[in-house]
Amino acid sequence: MKNTFLFFLCLCALYANSQTSDAATFVKDNYTKTDTTITMRDGIKLYTVIYMPKDASQKYPILMERTPYSSAPYGNSDYNTRIGPNEALRKEKYIFVYQDVRGRYMSEGHNLEVTPYIANKKNKNDVDESSDTYDTVDWLVKNIKNNNGRVGLYGISYPGFYATASLPGAHPAIKAVSPQAPVTDEFVGDDANHNGAFFLLDNFDFMNYFGKERTGPVKDYSAQMFNINSSDLYHFFLGVEPLSKTQSQKYFNHRSYIWDEYLAHDTYDDYWKARNIRQHLKNINIPVMVVGGWFDAEDLFGSLHTYEAIENQSPQNNNHLVMGPWTHGAWGSPEWTKFGTYDFGSNTSKYFQDSLQTKFFNFYLKDKGDFNVAEATVFETGTNVWKNYSAWPPKNVRSENLIFADNEKLSFEKNNLFPVQGNKEPETRNSYSEYISDPRKPVPYTNGVYRSRNNEYMVEDQRFIANRPDVIFFETDTLTNDITVTGRILADLFVSTTGTDADFIVKVIDVLPNNEVTPKSMPRGSSMAGFQRLVRAEVMRGKFRNNYEKPEPFIPGKVSEVKIILNDVNHVFKKGHRVMVQVQSSWFPLVDINPQKFMRIPDAVENDFQKSTIRIYHDAANASKIILPVLIN
C-alpha cells in the first residue's frame, strides 16, 4: 500500500513511453467509455468507470479493479490509454471496470482503513468491501450489455486487498480473483507494522497524501499536508522522532484520522484484529491466483499469507501462488530483467503476464485455452530459474539449524545434509556477543543519502554497516555444496538487555566469494568480490516476543527467548559462498526508534530514550540459531 500511488505513476509513465502512437489510441478505437455511479444497499453511490468493447458481436466477461487511488481520468470523453492488467488482456477484449471505493475520490461515503469484514450482516447498513463488491457485481451483470455473466477481480497492493475482500460472501458471478501484493495484516507483517514495530518512513510519507481528509467526493485531493523537502531522510527523521512530534502543527497535527488511529493502537487490539482479513478466507472455492514479489518492501507478507490462509481454511480450494523477483507491483511493468545487482537473464514480468495472468483470466472467464500450471510458480534467486511446486512451501524440505558461536562463527549442526568446510559443534561454554544500542545513533537501513526510500535495500550489500559497533554478525565457512532454501526462515534468539524493551533485526545474507566476477553493467570502480547480498531481513519489537496483544517488559539482565519469523525465500546459496547472519537493534528510518524503555512508544518524549547493552547468547543452555528450510533433492 505505502508509496503505491507514486509507483503506479512511474509505472504508467514507463509503459506509456514504451508504446507507439498507434498503441496509444487502441483503447479509444476499440472501447466505449462510460462513467456512472452504482448505488450500494445502504444508499451510498460509488463512482464507476466502464470500458466496453465496441465490437458487439459477442459477449464479454467483466474484469474489475476497485481502488482507493482514483479511477481517473473522469468523464466519458477522457480515456485511459492503459486499461486492464496487461496488454494481452486489453487486446483480448474484456469489459474493464474501475471503481473508486467507498469514501475515496468521486465515491460517496466514509473510507475506513482496510475496512473490516462483517461476517454476519444483520441489515442494509452493515456494509464492507465484500458487500460493496457484491452490490457492484450484481448491478454490472444485470445492466451492462453483452456481458457473459462472469466477473474477475484483480488489484495490486491496496487494490489487492479489495480483490481479496471480494472472496468472503462472494457474488456467484465472480469466477476468478487475483489478489496481488494484497494488504493483509497491518500489525504483524504488512505496511504499518512488522511484528509490532512501526514502519515510520513509508507510513509518514504515504499518509501525508493518502490520509488527507475530505468533505465529499473530489477528483483531486490536491497538495500534501506538509512539505518534507529533505534530501537526507535519515537526518530528517532524526528531527521528527519521537513519534509524538509527528502530531505537531508542522506535520500531521491530527489532520489524518488514519495516522491518529495508527498511533492510538500500538498493540494488536480489536482495531488491528478486525482488519486481518485472513481469518475470513474460509471455504473459498473461486479460482484464486495470488501474486507477489520476493523484493516487495510493502506487502511480501500479504502475498504469502493470503495464499496460506486460503490453503489452510479452504480444503477444496483452487488456489495458486506466483512469486517472482519483483519489487512492489513490478510484474505489471512491460519489462523486468534486472534489480539491484541481480540480472535475471529474462523478462520476468512478460513471462508472468503472458504465461500466467492472461491464461488465468482467459480460462476461467472465457473458457479459452488452458490453465495447467503448478500450485506454486516461484522464481529461484541465485540461479535465475522458475520453479514449479505442487505445494508451497515444497514438501521435501528439512529444517537445518545454523548455530551462533564464538568468534563470529555460524555452524551447521552435525550430521546435516549440507556440510561446510570446518564444520564443528557449537561452543558449549558460556558465551555471548554484545553491543550497545544508542537510540540517538540508530543503524541506517540503507547505504547512502536518499530523499525517498531506497527500494534496493532488500538486496543491498551489507558491508556498509560491517564496522559499526552496534551490529554483530556470524558467518559460516565456505560452503562445499549448493544449499537451496525454500520457505519461511526462523530466527531463535536468546537475548538480554539492560533496558526493558528492544528491537531485534535479523538479516540473512549471501556472501559472495572474493573471486566473484563483476558484471560489465555495474558502475566503474564497483566490485562484487565479497559482496554481502541481503536475502531476507525482519524486525521484532521485543515487548511483543510472546504476545502481540499483551506486551511484556524485559527484566534487565535476564535471558529471554525471542523468535522472529522471516518471510519466505526461494534462494540458492551456491558452493563457494558463505551464509552470514547480522543482528542489530535499529533499522532507521525504515522503522521508528525504540526508546528501549517499556512504554507506549507513541507517547515517548526525548528523555525516555536510553542506551542499552544487548547480548545475544550462544552457549549450551541458550543456543541462538537460525532455522533454514532446506530443499532435499
Strands 319-324 and 288-293: parallel
- Quote the pLDDT of residue 516: 81
- Segments making up each domain of the chain, as ranges: 4-185, 397-516+525-631
Residue 110 sits at φ, ψ, to 5 deg, of -115, 130
What pLDDT, on a 0 to 100 scale, did the predictor assign at position 20? 42
pLDDT band at 519 (very low <50, low <70, confident <90, very high): confident
Q: 3-class SS at 74?
A: coil
CA torsion sign for 202, 204, 209, 212 is positive
Helices (H) and strands (E) in the chain, counts: 13, 25
The percent of residues in the chain predicted with pLDDT above 90, rounded, is: 89
Closest CA to 417 of 575, 625, 569, 631: 631
Closest alpha carbon to 542 in 575, 496, 588, 507:
496
Alpha-carbon distance 354 to 465, whole Å? Answer: 41
pLDDT at 629: 98
| Mean pLDDT lowest among 99-103, 227-231, 250-254 | 227-231
Lowest mean pLDDT among 124-128, 178-182, 237-241, 522-526: 522-526
Task: Indicate if the pLDDT at residue 415 is higher than 70.
Answer: no
CA angle 627, 348, 507 (to 5 degrees): 25
Q: Do residues 279 and 164 lie in contact, with contact meaning Cβ atoms separated by under 8 Å?
A: no
pLDDT band of residue 420 (cuts 50, 70, 90) is low
Q: Are 158 and 193 in contact (CB under 8 A)?
A: no
Say which residue the cell 494484497 belongs to: 182
Q: What is the mean pLDDT of residues 146-174?
A: 98
The H or E element that residue 161 is part of is helix 158-165
As a whole number, mean pLDDT of residues 423-433 equals 66
Domain range 4-185, its CATH number among 3.40.30.10, 3.40.50.1820, 1.10.3470.10, 3.40.50.12780: 3.40.50.1820
pLDDT of residue 545: 98
pLDDT at 171 over 80: yes
How crowded is residue 184: how many other Cβ atoms within 10 Å of its Cβ? 28
* pLDDT for the residue numbered 413: 81
Q: Does residue 159 surpass a pLDDT of 70?
A: yes
* Residue 520 CB contacts under 8 Å (≥ 6 apart), including other chains: none
Rounded average pLDDT over 438-452: 97
Please give the C-alpha separations between residue 433 and each of 6, 403, 442, 471, 495, in angstroms, as whole numbers: 42, 13, 19, 10, 10
Prediction pTM value: 0.95
Per-residue pLDDT tens digits for 319-355: 999 999 999 999 999 999 999 999 999 999 999 999 9
pLDDT for the residue 9: 44
pLDDT of residue 573: 98
Q: What is the mean pLDDT of the chain?
A: 93
The string of pLDDT tens digits covering residues 575-624 is 999 999 999 999 999 999 999 999 999 999 999 999 999 999 999 999 99
Q: 397-516+525-631 belongs to which CATH class?
A: mainly beta
- Pair 179, 155: CB distance under 8 Å: yes
Mean pLDDT confidence for 482-488 = 98
Closest CA to 166 of 294, 33, 28, 62: 62
Tell me what the mean pLDDT of segment 162-187 comes to.
98
Predicted local confidence at residue 439, as pLDDT: 98
Helix (H) or strand (E) holding 343: strand 342-343
The better pLDDT of the pair 518, 69 is held by 69
In the prediction, which pLDDT does 223 show? 87
User: Given this model, what pLDDT does residue 411 score?
Assistant: 94
Q: Furthest-apart CA pair in the chain: how many Å?
A: 80
Q: Any idea what DSSP says for residue 597?
A: S
pLDDT reported for residue 16: 41
pLDDT digits (tens, 9 = 90+) for 240-277: 999 999 999 999 999 999 999 999 999 999 999 999 99
Q: What angle do CA 199, 304, 369 make, to 5 degrees?
A: 135
The C-alpha cell that represents 60 in the structure block: 464479454
What pLDDT, on a 0 to 100 scale, did the predictor assign at position 14?
A: 43
What is the SS3 assignment for 376? strand
Integer angstrom CA distances of residue 545 from 233, 432, 449, 548: 29, 20, 32, 7
Average the pLDDT over each of 357-371, 421-435, 523-537, 582-596 and give the range with the smallest value: 421-435
**Predicted pLDDT at 280:** 98
**Angle, vertex CA 555, rays to CA 554 and CA 560, nearest 5:** 60
